[in-house]
Structure 1
Amino acid sequence: MEPKEEITNAREQTDQDQKAVKQEISQLNEMEEKPHNLIPKEESLSCSITVRNFSPKRNNKQKAKVKDAFTCPQCGKTFTYKCHLNDHKRIHTGEKPYSCDQCGKSFIRMFNLNGHIRIHTGEKPYTCDQCGKSYGRKSDLNGHLSIHTGKRPYRCDQCGKNFIRKLELNRHMRIHTVEKPYKCDQCGKGFIRKIDLNRHMRIHTKQRP
């Protein structure tokens, strides 16, 4: 092969290589400019924080808004996770989709049903390391431990009253929010506690226990 032809071929190969590199750079730029296909909020796992929550550039105010991203349209209460909001909504609708196949009692959450089933099985997996007493639910054990520690970790930010369990604090808060989630299906009267609704129902059933 003549030297001129070799030089010409070498130049053509160099031009081709440069074009290929430019084409790859152009494709990479286009990929960076296109929005990523993030999973939409509605399609994400029901009990997961949405993708937008993990942005490292958010300030404290934005983080607070994200933390309370899911709001109940009935009472305005906010939740970090969508699954917790869905569970809460059943307080207003009265829906209890989880039923015990032993006694037929229904519950708002599967977690509550699992705890209830231990009444029938006699299982008590939560044991106090101070006195050895056992409980079917962890919340009951935590409440029991206050006997030994004297602690009441759940404090009302409205009046300063302290409670052993978070459940007790949540019930107490309804005094301040005037929330009455338990409604009588006969007359529509609302109550803060379910036990109060049950007592009220005797007016309609004429029951005198």
Structure 2
Amino acid sequence: MDGPQSCRIKHEDAEELIDLMEENRQTGELLEAVEKHQDTHGQKSMSPSFQSRPEVHFTCPQCGKSFSCDQSLNLHMKFHRGTKPYACDQCDKIFTLKTNLNEHMKIHTAKMLYTCGQCGTIFTDEGNLNEHMKSHVVEMPFTCGHCGKRFTYKGNFNEHMKIHTGERPYACDQCGKRFTHKGNLNKHIIVHTGEKPHSCDQCGKKFKLKHILNDHMKIHTGEMPYMCDQCGTSFRKLDTFRLHLRYHSGVRPFSCDQCGKHFFTSVALKYHVKVHAKVKPHVCSLCGKSFMELSGLKKHQKRHSGVKNHVCFACGNTFFDGAQLKRHQRVHTGEKPYDCPHCDKRFSQPGHLKTHEKIHSGEK
């Protein structure tokens, strides 16, 4: 039966071809995968017409991409459907392609893992890590005169400078709140709509943004892919890992113009500036207590309601908010992310570090 089924191959061979195609996905050509398969098995070409110019018969109805084999189209459709039939039996992570699962399994079987100290990416082969490190060695001609941060592109540099100048050109037309970056405005607008389109298929919890759902899913899988090579602490989220590395370095790039105090993050600086201004616009309707941030008010209101929906899976204790839970979990993990810049002591809570630093300063 010649015709549309011009790729008449055994089922086992078809699966191998699909794997070859994925391994060779930089070119994405079925013909090249077929030729590799034939060379490996010492087979002759399938037919003169297929060898000279593959005739396209199969078209994706969603994006219009064409394929010369139905196996190729079926593989492609998995990406549209989000189908992930290949599951890791050690951590339950799932994959669209078998080759991706095989690559992932190396993490569990490898005797040694190699972690990038700059972004936290994990490799099973030292050569792959060395190759990856080249991506961090890029020319960064634009340097911020305030905090020393460097940028490859002028556009990114200009966006960063708004943090120091206080420029907030993007305003919400519903509440007037202004933002430094347009992306932050778009995220903020969801607060007004109340939309939470991304839901967890494990516990049903809903989220406004997809990347927050992705971070949440790691709670169920237990995945903590970012490991600090200085103290061995692992993290679920990349931004938390990067902040942790900053604590080790002791670098506090954000400084207050009014008192000169330095901070690890722009968020901490922003909060501190409000201390000088004594602005507390968010007031609790039940007790009259006021807060500088809306998030602070929301946390406070949970105490009135008595709802403690953040549960520690290790001991069952419940907490009003995620920050309390995270601080508590350090009891179980032994994590001590706060380093004293004067000695080698480390602490699990920032308050404990501040108390300790008074020993060095002589402050009582």
TM-score in terms of structure 2 length: 0.38
Are 2:323 and 1:167 equivalent residues in the alignment? yes
Give the root-mean-square deviation of aligned CA atoms. 3.6
Runs of 4+ in 1 over 4 A off after TM superposition: 22-25, 63-70
Q: Spell out the pairing of 1:194-205 with structure 2 (5 A cutoff).
A: 194-205=350-361
Q: Which residue of 2 aligns with 1:182?
A: 338
What CA deviation, in whole Å up to 9, does each residue of 1:126-150 have, x standing for no partner?
3334445331023321232133201
Q: Which residue of 2 aligns with 1:12?
A: none
CA distance in 1, matches of 2:282, 2:80: 35
What CA deviation, in whole Å up to 9, does each residue of 1:59-112 have, x standing for no partner?
5733599755751324342334x3343223223333222222222222222222
Are 2:127 and 1:127 equivalent residues in the alignment? no
Choose 1 or 2 for highest CA Rg: 1
Maintained 8 Å contact 1:72/1:89:
no
Q: Which residue of 2 aligns with 1:56?
A: 82
Identity rate of aligned residues, in percent?
32
Q: 2:226 aligns with which of 55, 59, 71?
A: 71
Gaps of 5+ in 2: 1-52, 57-65, 73-78, 96-103, 105-213
Residues 23 and 178 of structure 1, relative CA distance in 2, 3 Å threshold? closer
Q: Which is richer in helix?
A: 1
Are 2:246 and 1:90 equivalent residues in the alignment? yes
CA distance in 1, matches of 2:264, 2:80: 30
- Greater shift, 187-196 or 126-135, is seen at 126-135
User: 2:259 aligns to what SS in structure 1?
Assistant: coil
Maintained 8 Å contact 2:244/2:337:
no
Gaps of 5+ in 1: 1-21, 34-52
Q: Which residue of 1 aligns with 2:303?
A: 147
Count, aligned residues? 165
What CA deviation, in whole Å up to 9, does each residue of 1:1-29 have, x standing for no partner?
xxxxxxxxxxxxxxxxxxxxx8996xx66
User: 2:336 aligns to what SS in structure 1?
Assistant: coil
Give the partner amino acid of 1:71: Y
Maintained 8 Å contact 2:303/2:320:
no
Q: 1:111 aligns with which of 264, 267, 274?
A: 267
Which structure is richer in relative contact order (CA contacts within 8 A, separation 6 or more)?
A: 1
Residues 54 and 119 of structure 1, relative CA distance in 2, 3 Å threshold? farther
